Structure 1
Amino acid sequence: MSYLDHCSTLLFFVQHCGARGRSIGVLWFSLPSWAELELGRAPVFWKTMNGLPPTSGESLTLFYNPAASNLAPNEEFGIAFNGGFNQPIMCGGEPRVMRIKERGEADLPIYTIKIQAPKYAVSLIFSFTNGVEWDGPYKLQFQVLKKWRNKPIIFSNEGLAEELSKEGACEGAIFPDSCDHRELRN
């Protein structure tokens, strides 16, 4: 196992520019605690179905607390997600409205979206918007399948392009967490 593979089990890679567009640069963050997300000290949290780091071909839920980035939710829809796999344009385009998880009167809501990572995905590059301002980009690195770990990125990009060229593939890969992605793929 390489050093990078070992680190990816403990850390997720985030490239972040901030809600006001200031370049913060490329940073490695450890997965924050749920309390840090709830308190607005961390903008992004993720949870996988099996508790392991995000992996190509697996599902995860992304949580976003706009209070951590001072991004004011839109009164009509709240916060929307925009992102793609391996590069911003692979499933990018129209921002997708996120599910609002209300937390009572004292706390601002947290927003969620489900991700079904394609098996050729190496990363997810994403941002959040209220329709006017943006927070991001963020980049979540996936653990790739063991048999593909030493392949060049072109291998992943070509496989991903084929995988996402199917009708409804992007809608089945990024969807509101109240929706079952299998319904979108059928």
Structure 2
Amino acid sequence: MSLKRVLIQGVDMFGERIGFLKFKADIFDKETGKKVRVPVGRLILELPAGMLDDEKGDFVGTAAREVEEETGIHINLEDMVDLTAFLDPVTGCRVFPSPGGCDEEISLFLYRGHVDKEVIMQLQGKETGLRDHGELIKVRVVPYKNLWRMTADAKVLMAIALYEMAKREGLLPP
């Protein structure tokens, strides 16, 4: 990748120190010449994710759409289990990745369906994503038992924790 420009859009100071820095970076894939998004400045193994783009506010529909956009796999909504729904209702049944810094809230879902092993293996290294939105995604298939050690993505680690706790307490459907 190639960094062409960084535009500082805003700075929040914490006394003498920089607290939050909002910037826009123009980063291009050297092979394709297309602009890509790399908010943290490095590549991180993460789950398919996206923002609610429509008025419906449909978390499960957004999750299924993102899985299809980012992997090419179509999943049925009825095969999705909302892991955050197992949280106590006082939490709002959502997860706040950084409650001290922003009001972002997310739901995490488990897909309980079948995908042929051949289809999964064909995903390894596949390039996906919406290029016109700056997405350049390279799919990486990782064994579940190794996943927690291979990522710094909080969504992945939260999803693993919620899944393991729900499984341990017998909350997952058969």
TM-score strictly above 0.5? no
Larger relative contact order (Cα-Cα within 8 Å, sequence gap ≥ 6): 1
What TM-score do you get using the length of structure 2 for normalisation? 0.28
More strand by share: 1
More helix by share: 2
Rg larger in structure: 2
